[in-house]
Amino acid sequence: MTTIDGIDLEFATLDEIHEAALARLDPGVRDFLEGGAGEEVTLRRNRAAFDKWAFVPRIMSGAGAPDISGSFLGIDLDIPVMTAPFGTDGLFDPDGHVAVARANEGAGTVSIVPEAGTFAVERIAGAAPGAAAIGQFHPLGTDQTFLTMMRRYEAAGYRALCLTCDCPTGGWRERNLRNRFSPDESIIAGNYPGGPEEYGPIFGQLFAQTAPIWTWDRLSSLLGQGTLPWIAKGIMTVVDARAALAAGASGLLVSNHGGRQLDGQRASLEVLPEIRDAVGPNVQIALDSGIRRGSDVVKAIALGADAVVIGRLAVYGLTAGGERGVARVMELLGAEIRNILALLGRGSLAEIGRDAVMRVTD
Ligand SMILES: Cc1cc2nc3c(=O)[nH]c(=O)nc-3n(C[C@H](O)[C@H](O)[C@H](O)COP(=O)(O)O)c2cc1C
């Protein structure tokens, strides 16, 4: 490894990791990763939203070396960035989420481990018990399949659950349709080795249409039989934020699924401040969709997030360099966040509030 002053020159910037990842992927997989639903309006909005907020520095503030540690749902984080539950991980690296979790353990953060992944959730927990902290699944299928997955996460030592609530069916992904692309079933069969025969809903959700028969009441009564706190993923309105909390959620993941589900909705960063204002300061909120740099993380925290979640950015690291690639993403994000905090004149994430940003029109 070539280093100068301890800095790994292999990937000097996050953009370099992105470029290296794209160069390694076949066109169909690249489009599957980069694309969104419909005309990709929401995909573009997710990125554009960050430019609408400008930083407001405080010079000569006397702030010392920035502390970027935080926590989410009582889980300590050395960096306020968790990795998203992205399925199909075996398309990007043979070790998939095992590598992601190992990198997160080294970085002092955690994975939201997906149900629709290439590896069983127990295997990921065995490889990196500290990082395999939040288990994701979809409210789909029968009560029995739901409870089985919940019990598996509990038994494997996960500390919280993440329910993806914005997938009553798959998004209308035109790049995949044009490419005639659909991943091999084995790539999402880590938890269901029998494939569709063993457990239809997740496969049905990805490859066909399913009936949207799930409600907050049903979700709440099933989760009430478990022992772990849970968060709702896919929150994009104040109405749904309140409904999730009324159903017993301990936290919210404000997310439009990286623009991969309902196209035409707003950017997740746009809705974040109104959701924070509606639920008050004590509800745990994470945000995903569009995070690509350290400055994005700081803006999300200024607008009300306790932590952020990275989807494609984690996949870029995984594709470019496996475990080391994800570790490098976390190192670079951490360095950028420290740099921004120092230039903003703030010594810690707790000092990053709304007064650190302002809305601009240029
Ligand atoms: C390849 C890929 C697979 C994904 N699979 C899932 C999944 O199985 N369940 C889920 O809740 N979200 C899934 N997501 C969405 C992410 O969890 C996350 O919401 C999104 O990637 C955030 O946006 P970003 O990519 O701009 O960071 C997936 C995303 C990608 C890129």
CA distances from 53 to 9, 58, 293, 302 (A): 31, 16, 14, 10
Tell which one of 83, 257, 310 to mutate to probe ligand 1, the residue whose CB is within 8 A of the most ligand atoms: 257
Cβ-count burial of 306 within 10 angstroms (0-12 exposed, 13-18 middle, 19+ buried)? Answer: buried
DSSP-assigned states of every residue in 74-88 = TEEESSSEEE---S-
Ligand 1 atom 21, closest CA: 311
Specify whether the CB–CB gap between 314 and 101 falls below 8 A: no
CA distance 267 to 299: 14
**DSSP class of residue 66?**
P
Residues forming the active site = 257
The residue written with tokens 């709702």 in the block is 232
Number of CB atoms found within 10 A of residue 54's CB:
12
CA distance 162 to 113: 9
Q: Domain of 126?
A: 3-359
Please say if the pLDDT value at position 5 is more than 80. Answer: no
Q: Please report, for the domain that includes residue 268, its CATH number.
A: 3.20.20.70
pLDDT number for residue 146: 92
**DSSP class of residue 5?**
T
| pLDDT tens-place string over residues 37-66 | 999 999 999 999 999 999 999 999 999 999
| pLDDT tens-place string over residues 215-229 | 999 999 999 999 999
C-beta 310 within 6 A of ligand 1: yes
Beta strands in 28-172 (DSSP E): 53-55, 70-72, 75-77, 81-83, 111-113, 132-137, 160-164
Q: What are the structure tokens assigned to 15, written together?
A: 């953009």
Given pLDDT bands bounded at 50, 70 and 90, which one contains residue 203? low
Please say if the pLDDT value at position 359 is more than 90. Answer: yes
C-beta 116 within 6 A of ligand 1: yes
C-beta 45 within 6 A of ligand 1: no
C-beta 113 within 6 A of ligand 1: no
Given pLDDT bands bounded at 50, 70 and 90, which one contains residue 111? very high
What's the total number of domains in the chain?
1
